[in-house]
Structure 1
Amino acid sequence: MEPDSARKTLALLALLLLAAPARPASAAPVEDGLLSNGDFETAPGGGFVKSASVAEGASSIPGWTINGTVELISAGQHQGGMILIVPQGDHAVRLGNDASVGQVVDVEKGSEYAITFSAARTCAQLEALNVSVLGGVSQTVDLQTLYNIEGWDAYALAFQATEEQAHLQFMNPGMEDDPTCGPILDNVAVKKLFTPDKPKDNVVLNGDFEEGPWMFPNTSFGVLLPTNLDEQTSAIPGWMIESNRAVRYIDSDEYKVPQGKRAIELLSGKEGIISQMVETTPQKVYSLTFTLGTAGDSCQPPMAVMAFAGDQAQNFHYSPMGNATSQAANVTFTARAERTRVAFYSVYYNTRSDDHSSLCGPVIDDVWVWGLNAAAGLKASIGLVISIVGVIAMVLF
C-alpha cells in the first residue's frame, strides 16, 4: 500500500471511531452525602420566583422526577395564614395530595444504604411522608409529632439495594383534604452502611453506635430513627426501633457523647424503644453493661433508663458523680435461649428547659454483653448492689 493511501485509510478509521457512539461506562455508585440537587437549591430553568412555583410533569426541578402537584417553596414564604418552613437553606419542596418526587441513584447491588432527609408539616393536622425504594423499603413517616421547636426534623431509613440502581420516591399519601396542607421535604442524602465487626467477647453488634446514617454538619437536632422492626435493614446496623415514636441519633459535634463519635438519645418514654437480639448460650450467665449519660441539650431532670436483658429488667437513674457527664450501668442475667433481647427506653417524658417543647432524654452508648462464669456473675451482682448502696448513702448523708 502506498504511504499516502495508508495515511488516508488511517485517517478514515480515526473519523469512524470518533463518530461511533461511545459505550456507556458503568456508573459509579452514589457517594455519601447529598443527592443531586438534594437540597433543592439548584434553580429550575425559569429561575426561582417569589411565589410558589407549581410544577407538574417530569423536569421542573433539576435532578428530580415529579408526579402530581409539587411546589418549590422559598424561606419565609406565606401560604394562606401560614409561613412555610424551609428546614435548611433557601428552598425546599411541598408535596400536594398524592404528589411525589423521585430520583434514581446508582448503588452497589446487595449493599445497604441509609437515606437521611429533613421534613416539616404545613398544618397542625395529621400529615405523613411515604418513603420508598423500588423493590426495597416502603415506610410512612408520621409528621404529627414534632421533636423540636423549629418545626422540622431530620429522619433516616435504610434499604438494601436489590439492583444496581435504586429508585427513591418521597410521596404525600394524601391524608388531608385541605389543598394548602402537605409535607415539606428538604436535604435528601444517602450513605452506604457497613456492618462493623463485633469486639472480642462482645455479642452486641454496633454497640458503640458508630455506624449509622448520614448526619448533616452544623445541625443541632441529630437524626430521628422512626419505627423499624427489621434488624437486617436498619439505619443503625444491628438495632431495631420497636415503638411508635423515634429515638435520636446524635454525634459529638453538637452533643455530649459518652464514648466515641455517636450515641443514641432516648425520647418519648416507653414510646421510644431501641433493641437488639444477641446470640447467647442457654443457661449461661451474662453481663449487660452500657454507659448512661446526658446529651448536654438542657434536658430537664429526672432522667432514667429502663434496661432489659432477657427476663431481667432494671431501672437506672442518671446521677453522675462529681463533674462526670456519664456513668456505667450493669445488668446480670441468665440466658434462656440461643437469642436474647436487650432493649432500652427512657423512663420519663423529658423536654428541654429552654423551650419546654423539644423532646429529649437520657443517652446510651457503649453497649456490651459478654459471658460470665458463676463466680464472676455473683461478683458483678454484689458489686452493683454495693454501688447502689453507695449512691443512696451519698444522697441521704
Structure 2
Amino acid sequence: MQLIRREPQTSMAGGTRSRCPVLLLLLLGVTTARLASGVVTDGLLPNGNFELGPAKSDLNGTRVMNQNSVPNWEIFGFVEYIGSGQKQDDMILAVPEGACAVRLGNDATIRQKLEVIRKTTYSITFCAARTCAQAERLNVSVAAESGVLPIQTVYTSSGWDSYAYAFRARHSTAWFSIHNPGHEDNPACGPLIDFIAIKALNPPPLAQGNMLRNGDFEEGPFIFPDTAWGVLVPPMSEDDVSPLPGWMVMSDTKVVKYVDAAHHAVPRGARAVELVAGREAALVQDVRTVPGRRYRLSLSVGDAANGCEGPMAVEAYAARATLRTTYESLGKGGSRRAAVEFEATANLTRVVLQSYNHHMKPDGTLCGPVVDDVSLVGLR
C-alpha cells in the first residue's frame, strides 16, 4: 500500500522525512505549543497534526518501524502513518485537517513529553476516528492520571470526533500518551488520531449572583477554530479532573458536546453544552447550600442551529425539585429561559442537567438541546 506523495525534507541524520503540506497552522491561527523553548502554551502540541512524518527508510508500507521516527513523538506497538484518502479494503481513510494522521493498531501507543506548570490544570483536545475495530476505546494518560475514552459512538457525519481530557500537573514535566488497548485479528484495525492540542484551564471565579461555578460554560477545553463539530467531554468519576471546570459528566459510555458560537447557536456568550446522548449522560455539579433555605435554579435551553429539529426537553434536578423545559427546535437556533424554586435538604445539593429524549439529525448523527447560562441563587 502506497502513501500519498509528499515532498522530501532533509533530516539532520542525512535521510529524508515525509512532509505533508504544513498549511494547517496558518489556517488555525493558534499559538503552537513549545517543548524545546519552555512550557507548553495553548494550541497544537509540537507536530500535533502529524504533518511531519517518518523518514521513508523507517516505514514498512504504512507501518512506522522505529520508536522515534515521528518527530516530537515516541511510538510503541503497531503504529501506522496514514495519508488522507488512503484506502484500506473498501474503506477510505480521511483526515480531518491537513494531509496526515497516525493510526494506533493492536496495543499501540503514541506519547510526548510536556513541560508544564506545576499545580496547573490542563485540558488536551484531540481528534479520533474509528476504522475497522468493533469496540474501540482509548486509554489517555498524563503521568499518574489516566482515563478510558469510549469511541464506539460516532457523533459526526465525517466520522471524526474531538475528545477532551484534563489533568492537574503534579510536576514540571509529564508524559502525555494515547494508547489503544485493543487486540484485533487485523493488527491495523484501530483508531486514527490527529490534531492534538493543549490548553491551560483557569478555574473561573463564582459570578456575582450565581452559586454555580462556570454556569455560563465559558471556560472549557480547546476547540479547534477550523472544526465545526465541537468537543466531546467524556464521562468521569468524581475524582477525575474535568475539562469543563465545575462540571462532571455522569454516564457509562456517553458524552456531552462542548460547542462554540463560531460554529453553533449559543444562547449567551461564546460557549455552551449540547446534550447529545439523551438520558444516558448528565451534567452534574455539587454546590453548598443551607438546609431549609430556598433557592432558584434557572437555565437557558435551545438548539445549536445545526439541523437538529423537533421537540427538545431538558430536565433539571435539585434537591426534591424537577424542572422540565421544552423547546420546539427548527434547527436554526434560538432558546428559552426557565426556572424552578426549591428548598435545600442538605449542606450539599447536586444540580443535574440531562436531555429527556434522544435526537438525531437527517444524516443520522446524534444531537440534542443546548444548555447555557445556568444559575443558582439563594432567596430571602
Identify whether the pair has TM-score above 0.5, normalized to the shorter chain.
Answer: yes
Task: Name the residue aligned to 1:31.
Answer: 41
Partner deviation per Cα, 1:166-202 (whole Å, 9 max, x = no partner):
1001111024333231111100110000111101231
Confirm or deny that 1:43 pairs with 2:53. yes
Work out which of the residue numbers 259, 263, 274 in structure 2 matches 1:254: 263
Counting only pairs closer than 5 Å after superposition, residues 1-397 of structure 1 correspond to structure 2 as 28-46=38-56, 52-123=61-132, 125-136=134-145, 138-230=146-238, 233-244=241-252, 245-319=254-328, 325-353=334-362, 355=363, 357-373=364-380
Q: Which structure has the larger Rg over C-alpha atoms?
A: 1
Distance 1:168 1:306, change over 3 A: same
Larger helix percent: 1
**Contact conserved, 1:64 with 1:102, CA < 8 A, in 2?**
yes
Larger strand proportion of the pair: 2
Distance 1:295 1:238, change over 3 A: same
The alpha-carbon distance between structure 1 residues 52 and 158, as it changes in their structure 2 partners (threshold 3 A), is: farther
Flag the 1:232–1:202 CA change in 2: closer, same or farther, 3 A: farther
Cα deviations across residues 190-238 of structure 1 (Å, max 9, x unaligned)?
0000111101231100000000011101211000001023376110001
Shift of 1:324: 8.1
Q: What is the RMSD computed on CA atoms of the aligned residues? A: 2.1
TM-score (norm 2): 0.86
| Kept after mapping to 2: 8 A contact 1:56/1:68 | no
The residue matched to 2:54 in structure 1 has which SS?
A: coil
Q: Is the 8 A contact 1:303 1:348 kept in 2?
A: yes
TM, length-normalised to structure 1: 0.83
Gaps of 5+ in 1: 1-24, 374-397
Question: In structure 1, what residue type is equivalent to 2:186?
Answer: D
Inter-partner Cα distance in structure 2 for 1:328 and 1:229:
30
1:44 deviates by: 2.7
Q: What is the identity percentage for the equivalent residue pairs of Structure 1 and Structure 2? A: 44
Aligned length: 344
Bigger Cα displacement from structure 2, 53-62 vs 240-249: 53-62
Q: Which amino acid aligns with 1:205?
A: R
